[in-house]
Chains A and B, each alone.
Chain A
Amino acid sequence: MSAKDSMQLINGYPAYMRESIEKVAATRAQRIKEGSPAPMSAEEREEVLTNWHPDYKADRKRDLAIGVSKGARMPHEVADVLEAYPVVSADQIDVSLPDIEVQVLILGGGGAANVAALHAVGAGIAPEQILMASKLRLGDCNSIMAQGGIQAADRAVDSPAIHYLDVLGGGHYTNNPELVRALVNDGPMIIDWHEKLGALYDKVDGNYLEAHGGGTSRMRMHSAKDYTGLELMRVLRDEVRNVGIPVVEFAPAIELLLDRDGHAAGAVLLNLETDEYVVVKANAVVLATGGFGRLHIQGYPTTNHYGATADGLVLAYRAGAGLIDMDSVQYHPTGVAYPAAILGQLATEKLRNQGAEPVNADGESFVYPLEPRDVEAAAIIRECYGNENGIATPSEIRGVWLDTPMIDEIHGPGTLKKRLAAMWMMWNRHGIDITKDPALVFPTLHYQNGGVEIDADTQTAVPGLFAGGEVAGGVHGKNRLMGNSLLDYNVFGRRAGLSAAAWAQSNTPKDLSLKHVDDYAESLEAAGVKHERTAPMILPDYRREAVVARSLDVL
């Protein structure tokens, strides 16, 4: 085959990949008959993680130089935004005359923020006494992109205790047990709440269609096709609108405000279109700003939304909140490896819980398909770069096949398109029919396992500041299981809304200040950090370098 011929697309894939695709097809029937490889032992997990998981590369991390969690180890990219200078100083902004005063200020527009807002109203805060401030639109967030499902131990063969053990083992026993307890105990109540709000979960004969996820010992994954995150987010958002909770979009917080007692007292918001700042005074603040995927840790592509730039971590840390488990990053085992146009986008774990297994270039299965995510990801990296059994793409990365045609082989024709409509459409837009051909995948940066340290009521080290969802850490320890992030933002978004409402009803901040921001800048100076970086980042910059280099700021 000539070089040109080998790049000719046949049903969406370059011709040179067809030989490998045929091997996958040829072994399919036998693999289904024999079943996937057995789950790894604790020792095997340890071995593959240590040698192949990106988190275990010591040179990709450093110890944080300043602040309350000084010395905490974390990826350079995260340390870079924490060891960065503020974009404003106290003398630039008069915070003594706030533009807006509310009881509860909610920073973020995603899952945790919407859940917190609804529960703050439920706890007695008038809707007009709440303000939600979102960087992008209400609902432009990672929560809306979640596909596979949400865990909750609601079946007779299951229990919160069994869920607890799955979460703790998956997180390598590093989770905060109190937070795990809250997660698993509140789970069924959350699904019940969703039912009352009119969310449409998948049901067969009136019962949930529940499945396994990586690292689960019971089938407790509730789903809404592969639009689970979308279905929940649009219902929550619709209810926030029904209730009439004020929302300001394209207005991220650039700093928190503290009062004279060091309590959270509001925030400075920035109108992204006019560049005008707005000072908001609040009795309580909920931090629901999501994670850090757009920092592209270790150069990985990400499944995350455009605004996932760790702003909440930066703001909370400057205000004195502690961070936990920041050394740990979740790489989803199956991001898109081909086509390049959608590189790193999510290929949901639901593909695997419905029967698809990872397969190498020779059509051999090499890993139990539902290991916890860190283990599954490390096994795929090992297959590509250790065992040299990956498939090289035209953009010179490697991937393995996710044998998606197995789903209809196992469950019957039409299953994939019905249960995984979003996945079918994503590849179909690029001429690939995943009911006929496998999908090429490789791990992609997916989730911030750690975050702001909270207790079970979501209280941070800063009184009056409550955090829930991906911005907070401790729930998942060093590795989150599938289906526990949707549960997390509901459980801890709810608790944050309730806690903030209670705090707001009995506390009024006095003498607002940005002094902590100046203090933070001073400690950066003292630690010898150069004036090279500022944070929060707000949005990543994907413009071509050649354009940026020639851009003039004239207007």
Chain B
Amino acid sequence: MEEPRMTQIFIMGKAYDVPAGITIMDAMEHAGYRFIRGAGCRSGFCGACGTVYRKEGEYRLEFALACQEMVEEGMHLTQLPFTPAPRADYVLDDLDPNENVLLQFYPAIARCVSCNTCTKACPQEIEVMDYVQAALRGDLKQVAELSFDCIQCGLCSMRCPADIKHYHLAQMARRLHSVSSSPEPEHLTERVAQIACGACEGDLNELMQMDLDGLKAQYAAREIEKVPEETL
């Protein structure tokens, strides 16, 4: 294999030569950092590795997940340990899904100045400011849909000049939208009742008492359900 091309980055002001084409997280480890905080799933799902950086010659701060973003020549970076934002405790079953419920628990949304800093900070490309506006209107469905890809890294709330706790209010909105507007399908309710009254025990007991050859024959004879045409 060829020697990797190297690139120079700055971690908290110090220069390091690291292989080009690797992630910020791998580059920091290559440089000799060993993470305790600031590393979690390492696949872009947990939000532990929010990173702030500046590119050479730019004045603007950029935001990313260290496990997903590649290093670039001249990148000046630091990692922000996850900073918890205050959240409102609530009892889901007691909430009234009216248009003011989010405002009641998160009144700071009324202070949104529409600066869009939250959206620019989001490594998931979520229209964060738009869902804050939807929250102001009390549109739970739209908050739920717009915020669905949120990994709760908290970068939006750290940047917000109005101290809005975007990711917490979105969590509450999704749960409330689910219980108020997305009811449980009947077939699930029925199956739960069947299991509770023991109606599924007989077939299970029969399989549990079957010998290995019997099980293998049953398994080989399974009918694989066809994917219905209308979903194709």
Contact = CB atoms under 8 A, between A and B. Distances in A.
Interface of A: 39, 41-42, 136-137, 139-142, 144-145, 153-157, 159-162, 164-166, 168-169, 173, 177, 181, 184-185, 188-189, 191-192, 195-200, 203, 206-208, 211-212, 217-219, 225, 227, 229-231, 234-235, 238-239, 241-242, 244, 250, 272-273, 303, 305-306, 339-342, 345-346, 395-396, 410-411, 421-422, 425-426, 429-430, 539, 541-544, 547-548, 551
Interface in B4-58: 21-23, 26, 29-37, 39-46, 48
Contacts of A191: 188
29 contacts: A140-B46, A145-B45, A157-B225, A160-B204, A161-B203, A169-B216, A169-B222, A185-B195, A185-B200, A197-B92, A200-B182, A206-B185, A217-B224, A218-B225, A225-B149, A227-B149, A234-B152, A242-B91, A244-B89, A273-B36, A305-B42, A306-B40, A342-B43, A345-B43, A396-B1, A411-B232, A421-B149, A425-B44, A541-B34
B183 A206 contact: yes
Contacts of A136: 39-40, 48
A159 B31 CA distance: 54
B149 A422 contact: yes
Which of A144, A239, A272 is packed against the most chain B CB atoms within 10 Å? A144
A153 B191 contact: yes
Contacts of B175: 197-199, 235, 238
Contacts of A145: 41, 43, 45-46
Interface residues of B, number: 78
A173 B216 contact: yes
A340 B216 contact: no
Contacts of A239: 92
B114 interface: no
Given A188-B191, A188-B192, A421-B149, A195 B178 contact: yes
Contacts of B32: 543-544, 547-548, 551
Given A230-B151, A241-B87, A542 B26 contact: yes
B115 interface: no
A345 B175 CA distance: 29
A198 B92 contact: yes
Given A137-B40, A177-B208, A227-B45, 18 more contacts: A140-B48, A160-B203, A169-B215, A185-B204, A188-B195, A189-B192, A196-B179, A198-B177, A212-B227, A218-B225, A227-B148, A239-B92, A303-B43, A306-B39, A341-B23, A342-B43, A421-B149, A425-B125
A554 to B, nearest CB: 15
A200 B143 CA distance: 13
B195 A340 contact: no
Contacts of B220: 41-42
Given A140-B46, A542-B29, A165 B215 contact: yes
B208 to A, nearest CB: 5
Contacts of A207: 185, 187
Nearest to B176: A198
A192 B184 contact: yes
Contacts of A241: 87, 89
B21 A339 contact: yes
Nearest to B125: A425
Nearest to B168: A238
A265 B152 CA distance: 35
Which of A162, A238, A340, A551 is packed against the most chain B CB atoms within 10 Å? A238
A200 B174 contact: yes
Contacts of A208: 185, 188
A197 B175 CA distance: 7
| 9 A-B pairs with the lowest CB-CB distances in the bound complex, closest first | A198-B175, A161-B203, A547-B32, A140-B40, A169-B219, A198-B178, A542-B29, A217-B222, A195-B184
Given A39-B224, A227-B148, A242-B90, A144 B34 contact: no
B62 interface: no
Contacts of B200: 159-161, 185
B130 interface: no
B69 interface: yes
Contact of B43 (A340, A346, A544, A551): A346
Which of B33, B175, B176, B206 is packed against the most chain A CB atoms within 10 Å? B175
A336 to B, nearest CB: 10
Which of B42, B90, B144 is packed against the most chain A CB atoms within 10 Å? B42
Contact of A144 (B37, B46, B179): B46
B153 to A, nearest CB: 11
B60 to A, nearest CB: 19
Contacts of B70: 341, 430
B45 to A, nearest CB: 5
Interface in B102-133: 124-125
B37 A250 contact: yes
Nearest to A166: B222
B98 interface: no
Which of B92, B182, B185, B223 is packed against the most chain A CB atoms within 10 Å? B185
A426 B69 CA distance: 10
A163 B66 CA distance: 40
